[in-house]
Structure 1
């Protein structure tokens, strides 16, 4: 999955297990399952990201899924967005240690200043940030028309999509799908929310989604 970047992926795992655990960016109980639950789980997001995309990882935290995604997909232009200063410092240290061409920004997705600074990306990713409806309200304005939000979710992803369907479409969703990668306990669920390509008559706000194509929920 990581190809030539496997040594740097191993180094990232070492950083998470050592200083990452010490600094509290990842819990000690997660150390034995770093690869299947965190690194590989995050790299699977690359399955739903088109080649050469610009990617904004919202609430990057420990660097998940943004750093494994950048390692496994060097064709992507990745920005890690994180509101907490100490985690921003951690991300900057990791990016330097792994010699990654990745940008780290401090900010919250829902803030106007962040939206002005980051602009619109082809893909916005997120992991364990918020329920999908609330996440879409924050993140979809950062997705270009025709782009997508790719959110890592648990086994209840389908139920969450059904529950928050109205909020997703209010945020500008055209199509919604749940993509499953892997198998068994290691199955990764990625909710992919495609933003409508249309803009509203008064601008590019997420309300444009109500004029987009009809809802389609499907699993694959």
Structure 2
């Protein structure tokens, strides 16, 4: 999955287990399952992203899924959007240490980028219910791009509960789907909600 960048992914996991835990970005109980529950849970998102895409990862926190995508897919240009200073400091330290030229760290809320930036893909993980997430994400999606939100077993329920917001953003039902990714070579199967913006 990470090919010749596996040593960088291992170094990132060391950061998560060390400074990430000490600074409260992850709980100590997460350390034994960093690969399975966090890194390998995020990496399959890359299957749904076209080559050379621009990606904004909202509420990036410790870099999940944004940094994982940047490591697995060096062709992507990834912007990590995170409002909290201690998290952006951590993210920038990791980016500098790993020499990730394809990553930009932006301290701020998604709304602050509305009207100023757009991206091919806007990702998130456990950030908010779909309805609220669309309010933050949709203005950042370029024509032909998509929102790609990691979700669990309740993905369909979230879609059903977000019909009002989907109508508000004039998103057609056929533009929303649940996709299953991963599931091979020891990589877990993950579920994501994909909302595609018209190319017009």
Q: Please give the alpha-carbon distance, in whole angstroms, between the structure 1 residues aligned to 2:119 and 2:83.
A: 18
Aligned length, in residue pairs: 195
Equivalence for 2:106: 105
Report Cα offsets for 1:135-177 as digits up to 9, x if no partner. Answer: 0111100001221000011111111112213312422434011
1:140 and 2:138 are equivalent in the alignment: yes
Q: Determine helix, strand or coil for the equivalent of 2:110.
A: coil
Equivalence for 1:205: none
Given the superposition, is the C-alpha separation of residues 72 and 176 from structure 1 closer, same or farther in structure 2, using an over 3 Å criterion?
A: same
Report Cα offsets for 1:163-215 as digits up to 9, x if no partner. Answer: 213312422434011111245x94311111101334xxxxxxxxxxxxxxxxx
Q: Please give the alpha-carbon distance, in whole angstroms, between the structure 2 residues aligned to 1:56 and 1:104.
A: 10
- TM-score if structure 2 supplies the norm length? 0.92
Equivalence for 1:202: none
> Is the 1:137–1:168 contact (alpha carbons within 8 Å) kept by the matching residues of 2?
no
Q: Determine helix, strand or coil for the equivalent of 1:110.
A: helix
Equivalence for 2:191: 189
- TM-score if structure 1 supplies the norm length? 0.84
Q: Determine helix, strand or coil for the equivalent of 1:40.
A: helix
Q: CA deviation at 1:116?
A: 4.3
Q: Please give the alpha-carbon distance, in whole angstroms, between the structure 2 residues aligned to 1:187 and 1:135.
A: 23
Q: Please give the alpha-carbon distance, in whole angstroms, between the structure 1 residues aligned to 2:144 and 2:17.
A: 38
- Once the two structures are superposed, the pairs formed by residues 154-165 of structure 1 within 5 Å of their partners are 154-165=152-163
1:124 and 2:125 are equivalent in the alignment: no
Q: Determine helix, strand or coil for the equivalent of 2:111.
A: coil
Equivalence for 1:64: 64
Structure 2: unaligned runs, 5 residues or longer: none
Q: Please give the alpha-carbon distance, in whole angstroms, between the structure 2 residues aligned to 1:23 and 1:197.
A: 42
Q: Please give the alpha-carbon distance, in whole angstroms, between the structure 2 residues aligned to 1:169 and 1:197.
A: 18
- Once the two structures are superposed, the pairs formed by residues 1-220 of structure 1 within 5 Å of their partners are 1-101=1-101, 102-111=103-112, 114-117=113-116, 119-174=117-172, 175-183=175-183, 186-198=188-200
Structure 1: unaligned runs, 5 residues or longer: 199-220
> Is the 2:40–2:188 contact (alpha carbons within 8 Å) kept by the matching residues of 1?
no
Q: Please give the alpha-carbon distance, in whole angstroms, between the structure 2 residues aligned to 1:193 and 1:64.
A: 20
**RMSD in angstroms over aligned alpha carbons?**
1.7
User: Relative contact order, CA 8 A, sep 6+: which one is greater?
Assistant: 2
